[in-house]
Amino acid sequence: MPNADRSISTVLHDIVGNVQDIIRSEVRLAKTEVTEELGKLGHASILLGVGALLLTFSALFLLLAIVYALSVVLPAWAAALIVGGGVGAIAALCCGLGLKKFKAVRAAPKTTASVKENVEWAKQLTR
């Protein structure tokens, strides 16, 4: 065995170095996970914004046509009220889907638990 004559201080020094390497690796992994989650958050924000903008533009023209069509059968105020209620329901649906995407983003990386485990393991070694 070539390592049989190593001193305790050398072994402890190697253990501390290995623990430091593990913790550095976990921190790098955590940074990567946070970056990925922020990318997902940005993507969800863009989708929500584009969806809201497109809904607004298309709704302006379609709603006017619907109000005119309903005003043939109903008073103009009733036609506008019905169309406004429908638009409100669609807007609520879009906002709900956007919020669902925001909630799907994890705030804390998965590696947080493994970093805590590594710290506890290192504490056990030094006792």
Q: Which residues of the chain have pLDDT under 70?
A: 1-4, 108-111, 125-127
Q: What SS3 class is residue 21?
A: helix
Question: What pLDDT shows up at residue 75?
Answer: 95
Examine residue 1 and state whether it is found in any structural domain, yes or no.
no
CB 30 within 8 A of CB 115: yes
Question: What pLDDT shows up at residue 96?
Answer: 93
Is the CA virtual torsion 121, 122, 125, 126 positive or negative? Answer: negative
Question: What pLDDT shows up at residue 110?
Answer: 67
Examine residue 3 and state whether it is found in any structural domain, yes or no.
no
Examine residue 2 and state whether it is found in any structural domain, yes or no.
no
Domain count, the chain: 1
Question: What pLDDT shows up at residue 2?
Answer: 56
Examine residue 127 and state whether it is found in any structural domain, yes or no.
no
- Say if residue 66 is exposed, middle or buried (CB neighbours under 10 Å; 0-12, 13-18, 19+): middle
Question: What pLDDT shows up at residue 3?
Answer: 59
Q: Which domain holds residue 33?
A: 8-121
Examine residue 76 and state whether it is found in any structural domain, yes or no.
yes
* pTM reported for the whole predicted model: 0.41
Examine residue 56 and state whether it is found in any structural domain, yes or no.
yes
